[in-house]
Structure 1
């Protein structure tokens, strides 16, 4: 029998977020966060810290208590900004496309869970570890692909993905969104947009002193909170982050088109257990998700008449796509509620 993987010590750096709630001896569930593009986990530090806080708060009297959690997230491949520890994901300067990112994230999850490819039959049913995926924007697409591949894996993995929270998900027809249309037009005019913009960013950071760059970023971003300002300045000064972001975005336009997942991945079939319990949280007037695309997904894939399927919510509070800049608190409360329902 495989022994339970030893829990990792909390670690918060520009490229990693790892913390725990409750008792370390009771942490059988991992919340695995996948960022959007640009894939810097430091944009999400306040959100993940607040999520940890709300999951750890005492619940109302007579309400069931939540289990303890391990909460993990890391920067996507090629976005790492810790120059002291260059990552193999930088791939010798070769830009990573969406498929590369899926494989990168899948590898991070397997390493975190200590999954060495041994079958589920070697793990006692009572000690099997559980994973809840949280994906933001294109991170939701990556999460759905990881869920599909996890379900199809042979031999089966030694942990279960029991649920997911997809936040402002770009899982279908991203090029039809307002920002997707603009980016597609730019790419048709400037085919090597990623290279051009990255060279401009490098020139900008070379010519501008750090204080002036910070002032310009603050002005352009309309006075963002400190964590977002720090992350953006680090992103602009990183070795290849800007180029990686635009290269990946161009591939998203080509790749994220039609719905590519079966009913069991969407959690709408019971042919093979376990079925993951999924939540989709859509924005209203989301510039990366066309209203028609969102409505089609809700109509086709949402719960109907009490049948199994993902819970889909359209935000009525005006939260923006980039919630991690100024709306971490309200989003953390919402996601804590989703997780509570997944593990109930």
Structure 2
């Protein structure tokens, strides 16, 4: 039977990448667990970002700063606050965090969190961030709710979808108490629809489910942490070939035993729970929700965490004009780039390491589609 091409509900054309003068550059060596970039003028629009696994927001600092500049430095009158938060258990420097959890009930005795608990934690942090912002600013009168766009990468995209599902099924009184509306989401390299069926997922399944994986690699993490700084940096550089900024973040990650344990602990749950039925259930709940929500998906060309045939089938079923009914407006793009030159590079799954400037133009376009 002839295979149909996946339906693309937004233009598959590649927007121009940022010019050299526009490209973001890391400006600080400080490692933070939260990032807040306030808009230059008063605005009701907020962007909140959640990372993938490992859930360290510092990996995305260049991306978030570049996105902030692209949104706020142009001639458009609409401006945006931009914020991001590491996932629970991935904190590298909580003493420098711009805000702290009010309660520690989500991490009793430093035990790692599963996916449902990560969703609890992230929704808790989003609500508190928006509560802080509502207390500090008044936009268009005291009763005007702030408008929130969630952006996430990889595993974070699944967390955001689960958050949208919960908000869509919240009681009207709870939604009113929040005093903000999530008007849309941008999901970058989402592991849709079945992580275990992906090329990389099928390779690591048996290892990831081993009961010895977490304790063994946690011990290795502790051993790396005993090495002198220059040796641990050399080791991480040899293994990853990362540039200097990502290198130091990775060194801090692999020498933080709780973060390593949290990352490995999540992998098993990701393989078990990120399935077609979970995405369908979330999309159905969002579609039946009380508030209009726009979701934009950006897939890699040959993402090793995504099975292309299943991805295409999911896009055909859930990202077509026929599927955009009720409160949900969803569309998808697959990276149209080809390797060959600077203007046409296939964007890898871990785009934040070296390819933020290629992703930012897509995200800017999606954000303006969401607010239009």
Q: TM-score range by the shorter chain?
A: 0.7 to 0.9
Counterpart contact for 1:266–1:310, Cα < 8 Å: no
The residue aligned with 2:51 is 35
In structure 2, distance between residues paired with 1:197 and 1:267: 38
Deviation of 1:13 (Å): 4.7
Counterpart contact for 2:32–2:58, Cα < 8 Å: yes
Counterpart contact for 1:22–1:67, Cα < 8 Å: no
**Partner secondary structure for residue 184 of structure 2:** strand
Quickly say closer, same or farther: Cα 1:215–1:112, change in 2 above 3 A.
same
Deviation of 1:267 (Å): 9.3
* RMSD across aligned positions (CA): 2.6
TM-score by length of 2: 0.78
Quickly say closer, same or farther: Cα 1:307–1:300, change in 2 above 3 A.
same
Quickly say closer, same or farther: Cα 1:124–1:293, change in 2 above 3 A.
farther
Counterpart contact for 1:66–1:343, Cα < 8 Å: no
Q: Gaps (5+ residues) in structure 1?
A: 1-10, 60-64, 116-122
Deviation of 1:262 (Å): 5.8
**Partner secondary structure for residue 236 of structure 2:** helix
Q: Identify the match of residue 230 of structure 2 among 206, 211, 218.
A: 211
Q: How does 1:322-341 map to 2 (within 5 A)?
A: 322-341=350-369
In structure 1, distance between residues paired with 2:115 and 2:323: 35
Quickly say closer, same or farther: Cα 1:266–1:71, change in 2 above 3 A.
farther
Q: How does 1:280-319 map to 2 (within 5 A)?
A: 280-304=297-321, 307-308=324-325, 309-317=329-337, 318-319=346-347
Number of corresponding residues: 316
Report 1 or 2 for greater relative contact order, CA contacts < 8 Å, sequence distance ≥ 6.
2
Quickly say closer, same or farther: Cα 1:74–1:209, change in 2 above 3 A.
same
Deviation of 1:191 (Å): 2.4
**Partner secondary structure for residue 156 of structure 1:** helix
The residue aligned with 1:74 is 85
**Partner secondary structure for residue 37 of structure 2:** strand
The residue aligned with 2:247 is 229
Deviation of 1:84 (Å): 4.2
In structure 2, distance between residues paired with 1:320 and 1:235: 21
